[in-house]
Amino acid sequence: MSESILTSIKKLLGIADEYTYFDTDIIIHINTAFSVLHQLGVGPDIPFIITGENETWDQFIQDNDKLHMVKTYIYLKVRLVFDPPTNSAAMDAFKKQCDEYEWRLNAADDDWLKEDE
């Protein structure tokens, strides 16, 4: 069974799964990152959103080999708006990493990124 998107992003942010106070904020930021990925042509043809902990990574892209970069990208995008680094060098590194992932995902072959119909 695939891991919950919300749960895994919370874990990367250092937030315990049972602590739900920031869930709405995190969901909004995750959905914003999914919107960017949709504009890049990554994922299903219909824009993907989450509403809670029930949505899983394999609902977005079923091939786990494709998910590694997407998971990291979503985490970085959420981290930048939810809990940005206070150090400007770290902030710049996060932004550069996001830019690189966007470039790589945009440059990737459509067959690699699109869900099979």
- The predicted-structure confidence for 67-115, as pLDDT tens digits, reads as follows 688 999 999 999 999 999 999 999 999 999 999 999 888 877 555 555 5
Q: Which of 71, 97, 82 is nearest to 8 (CA)?
A: 71
The whole-number pLDDT of residue 37 equals: 93
**CA proximity to 52, closest of 9, 14, 12, 84:** 9
Q: Is the pTM of this model over 0.95?
A: no
Mean pLDDT, range 26-40, rounded to an integer: 96
First to last CA, the chain: 21
Phi first, then psi: give them for residue 56, nearest 5 degrees. -120, 165
Give the contacts of 94 (CB within 8 A, at least 6 positions apart): 76, 79, 80, 84, 85
What's the token pair of residue 24?
């709405």
**pLDDT recorded at residue 65:** 65
Please write the tens of the pLDDT for every residue from 12-25: 999 999 999 999 99
Q: Where are the domains of the chain?
A: 5-113
